[in-house]
Amino acid sequence: MTTALEHTARRNEQKPEYRVYTVEVVARKRLSPSFVRVTVAGECLRSFGAGGADQRIKLMLPRPGRTVADVPRGRDWYAEWQAMPEETRPTMRTYTVRAFRPSRAEIDIDFVLHGSEEDSGGPASNWAASARPGDRVALLGPDRPGTGRMWGCEWCPPATARRLLLAGDETAIPAVGAILESLPAGACGIACLEIPTEDDAQEWEVPSGMEVRWLPRNAGTAREHGSLLEGALSEALRELCGGNGEPDELASSRSAALEDVDVDSCPLWEIPEAPARERVDVESGELYGWLAGEAGVIKRLRRMTVNQYGVPRTSVAFMGYWREGRH
């Protein structure tokens, strides 16, 4: 008889280790006014551990005037990285694997350019704005394929999900695109995506039952970041959940357990740990949601989704990808 201890040991054997992959830029493509795709390649990527549609990896960018040789390697890479002087310590940022082609040992990474091509904002998007074939960079990722949070993946709808709801700003576009393109043909739901301009809308091959609603901020007059997303999500929740968004007794009881999150001092990262036992019944099935973007906006969307529409927290992933005012 197999014991519980043996089961645990077997699971632990399957956990990935994170390793540094040194890769080379092989292509750079401007997708739209606000997006650029950088393709990196390297024989080392043949052992990269692909994990799922919204897989996160870390980019390790050399400081100006430095090279990828500064990036620490080996099992103690993090301690070595922390111990480095600030002026030589490589910059580390989180991005999504937009596509992985193991047969060619290539990974596509999409970047948001927040300003001009010469000065787009943060160090990673600035690097992407000027990246050229032959440039070398390092990325941190798992060393074996798998799925789940240990592989940097949060998209995990239960088998009972019949309606899907995705929402995010431009920083979530690469993950949402990968998720939608991975869905089975029968998937149904709504994706609400706020983007800087109407020219940033992308064309994806998605199931006919998934509606993608693009929300350009520059349409008409300038709008505050997240304002269009809030209105669109409220409309989508009315369609998927019914009701008018007014708190009811059940929603109020849920909101009592919805603690406040200070997004300036701690990350907003709330993920269902397992398939939800408590779900929202809608006309044709149960709801699963995935929301990502600026942390202050996601905090407001979280409160609206749970308090006003009574969606169980165990049915939605809420992720603050970034915080306004910080690179």
CATH code for the domain of 53: 2.40.30.10
CATH code for the domain of 252: 3.40.50.80
With cut-offs at 50, 70 and 90, classify the pLDDT of residue 219.
Answer: low
Same domain, 186 and 313: yes
Q: How far, in Å, CA of 153 to CA of 161, rounded?
A: 18
With cut-offs at 50, 70 and 90, classify the pLDDT of residue 1.
Answer: very low
Lowest mean pLDDT among 48-52, 165-169, 313-317: 313-317
CA nearest to 101, candidates 46, 147, 138 = 46
Distance of CA 27 to the CA centre of its chain: 22
Residue 303 lies in a domain: yes
Neighbouring C-alpha atoms within 13 Å toward the C-beta of 251: 18
Same domain, 91 and 211: no
With cut-offs at 50, 70 and 90, classify the pLDDT of residue 202.
Answer: very high
Same domain, 295 and 254: yes
Domain count, the chain: 2
Same domain, 58 and 138: yes
Same domain, 170 and 137: no
pLDDT reading at 25 higher than 60: yes
Q: In the listed set 142, 174, 195, which residue is the last one of a domain according to the structure?
A: 142
Lowest mean pLDDT among 57-61, 72-76, 134-138, 231-235: 72-76
Cβ partners under 8 Å of residue 256, min gap 6: none
Same domain, 136 and 207: no
Same domain, 125 and 174: no
Given this model, what pLDDT does residue 4 score? 42
Average pLDDT estimate for 272-283: 52
CA nearest to 268, candidates 316, 213, 312 = 316
Q: Which residue has the tokens 């009701």?
A: 243
Same domain, 169 and 121: no
Handedness of CA 216, 222, 226, 227 (dihedral sign): negative
Residue 158 lies in a domain: no
Give me the percent of the chain exceeding a pLDDT of 70: 83
Average pLDDT estimate for 186-212: 97
Given this model, what pLDDT does residue 300 score? 94
Run of H or E including 9 = helix 4-14
Run of H or E including 229 = helix 227-241
Cβ partners under 8 Å of residue 42, min gap 6: 21, 22, 23, 24, 105
Residue 170 lies in a domain: yes
Could you tell me the residue range of the domain that residue 264 belongs to?
A: 163-322
Q: How far, in Å, CA of 86 to CA of 285, rounded?
A: 52
